[in-house]
Structure 1
Amino acid sequence: MGRPEVSLENYGDVYEFYRDHQQNRVLAKLAYAALYAKYRPRVRYADGAEARLVELLNLGTVLIIAANHISHSDQYTLAATAWKSPLRRVIGRTRVLAKDELFVDPDLRKKLDMMGSIPVFRSKNHGLRAVADAGRLMMDISADRLSRGDCLAIFPEGTCNEEDQTTLQSINSGIGHIVKRAGERGVSPVLLSIGISYGPDAHGPDTENVKSASVYVGQPVSDLPTKPIDIAHAVQEDLQNVVDRAVALY
């Protein structure tokens, strides 16, 4: 099918398209490499985490990558980190959840599609009741992609942190529902938390201090709880820990 318009009214066709959409992996790798050349994050790891990540990827393990959200450039920092890390091998096989409004501009949408993005209709923009059905379908599509071997990258706070960028905003159960639905499809994703810091002088989502970010990759977590809300709590704790390290190592 052709690319449908990304609108809430059209969410059924939107998610049917992204259920199977596959970007050009060669172009995606070139784009990720270019983003690393531009942003050059300083990537560090928890003790043994890099080797464990390589081991998991060698086994074909599916990852759900969670990162904190403090700037409109976070997705570029995360992409640059992927190129600099063992995650390079899953470029082109990683879906990235991104807010629907980014898909309105045709040129930007082409870039998002090339990066493997899937649109998310947020209650912040449309209202909780209006996005309920679309949200459930988005979680199903995300779980389907995980069950077929894709990884998933998500900013589980859902919106940029405009207050204290060293402390996560509350994470709701959405990420937990995706993990649970993936489990119902026979796959148990391993959580990989990635903390980002642009330094003490970075304030708000539009900070210009986005180059040479401090990025800290946590130890992969495979023993996640079974209930969505408990999964969200586990993500909150693990992600806050890596954010603390990213901040401290800036």
Structure 2
Amino acid sequence: MDVELAQSEAVYAHYLDHQQDRVRAKLMYGVLAARIRPVLRFTARDHLVRAVRSGRPLLIAANHVSERDPLVLAAAGFRSPIRSRIGHMRVLAKDELFEEAGQRRKIDTLGGIPVFRQKDHGVRAAAEAGRQMFGVCVERMVRGDSIAVFPEGTCNEGDVTQLQKLGTGIGHIAYRALKAGVDVSLVSAGIAYPHRDDRARPIVTFGDPVDLTRFKDETPAALTRMIQGDLQGVVDEVCRVAV
């Protein structure tokens, strides 16, 4: 089955139940960690350990400043307390990454779920696929999986110290998961490259987990604004040490 917008229903039916080989997943994450060697920082490492051990699904939100970011985040995840979630971690990735068969196998092993972006397919065409994608994310979280998102949607080509405005997709995922009774913890991850050179050894800061059940009565837009504020705070932290 090809990952194409015209058959998005079949695509998301597949990724609703797809399970990567957990041994291969851990191996791939480990190889990335050894190659990339990200420098890790934590706002409150003990709180992150507690959130991971709680068994609650994590909603990981990361900023996007380089095409390397998904691999960097995977490498950082392996070196962090989040490692134990590998094999039960889903990562939203643009659909074009699933086009070539060899690359798709790698993305599938990393836990990828394709996203048909509005900027690539148009608002109307991508809207229904987006709703289907939200449904898959929520069901995976109901089953205990965690979800990683780059909610800016595209690389920041401007001032990397300031987040671009987040799309409301991450707010919709959080909102629907909370309405489904999932106790979700938000973990913001700030990625930066020293001297803004994405060939340099990256720095990743994990923020203090936020219990989103405190915001279960908020709208998707309000949740998105809250996530933007939390992620911006972590980006501020990582950028301070990456200059």
For the criterion TM > 0.5, the same-fold answer is yes
What letter is aligned with 1:118? I
CA contact (8 A) 1:82 1:88 kept: yes
After superposition, the Cα gap between the structure-2 partners of 1:15 and 1:198, relative to the gap in structure 1 and judged at 3 Å, is same
Q: 1:208 aligns with which of 193, 199, 212?
A: 199
Report the equivalent of 2:114: 119
1:40-119, aligned counterparts within 5 Å?
Answer: 40-46=37-43, 49-119=44-114
SS in 1 for 2:174: helix
Q: Is 2:217 the partner of 1:220? A: no
> Once the 2 structures are TM-superposed, how far is the Cα of residue 229 of structure 1 from its aligned partner?
0.5
CA contact (8 A) 1:67 1:239 kept: yes
Report the equivalent of 1:24: 21
What letter is aligned with 1:248? R
> Once the 2 structures are TM-superposed, how far is the Cα of residue 186 of structure 1 from its aligned partner?
1.4
Q: Deviations over 1:139-189 (max 9, x none)?
A: 010011011100000000011111111110000211111111112221021
SS in 2 for 1:32: helix
Aligned residues: 239
C-alpha separation in 1, matches of 2:52 and 2:237: 24
Q: Deviations over 1:77-123 (max 9, x none)?
A: 10011111000000010100000011001110000000000000000
Report the equivalent of 1:199: 194
C-alpha separation in 1, matches of 2:205 and 2:50: 19
SS in 1 for 2:147: strand
Structure 2, unmatched stretches of 5+, are none
SS in 2 for 1:76: helix
SS in 1 for 2:155: coil
CA contact (8 A) 1:172 1:229 kept: no
Report the equivalent of 1:248: 240
CA contact (8 A) 1:216 1:246 kept: yes
**With structure 2 as the length reference, what TM-score do the two structures score?**
0.96
Report the equivalent of 2:228: 236
Task: Please report the RMSD computed on the Cα atoms of aligned residues, expressed in angstroms.
Answer: 1.0
- Identical positions, percent: 46
C-alpha separation in 1, matches of 2:55 and 2:125: 37
What letter is aligned with 2:39? R
C-alpha separation in 1, matches of 2:67 and 2:148: 15
Structure 1, unmatched stretches of 5+, are none
C-alpha separation in 2, matches of 1:39 and 1:200: 17
In the TM superposition, structure 1's runs of 4+ consecutive aligned residues that sit over 4 Å from their partners are none
What letter is aligned with 1:90? R
C-alpha separation in 1, matches of 2:106 and 2:204: 23
After superposition, the Cα gap between the structure-2 partners of 1:180 and 1:201, relative to the gap in structure 1 and judged at 3 Å, is closer
What letter is aligned with 1:45? F
**With structure 1 as the length reference, what TM-score do the two structures score?**
0.93
Report the equivalent of 2:181: 186
Q: Deviations over 1:176-204 (max 9, x none)?
A: 111111122210211000000012333xx
> Once the 2 structures are TM-superposed, how far is the Cα of residue 230 of structure 1 from its aligned partner?
0.7
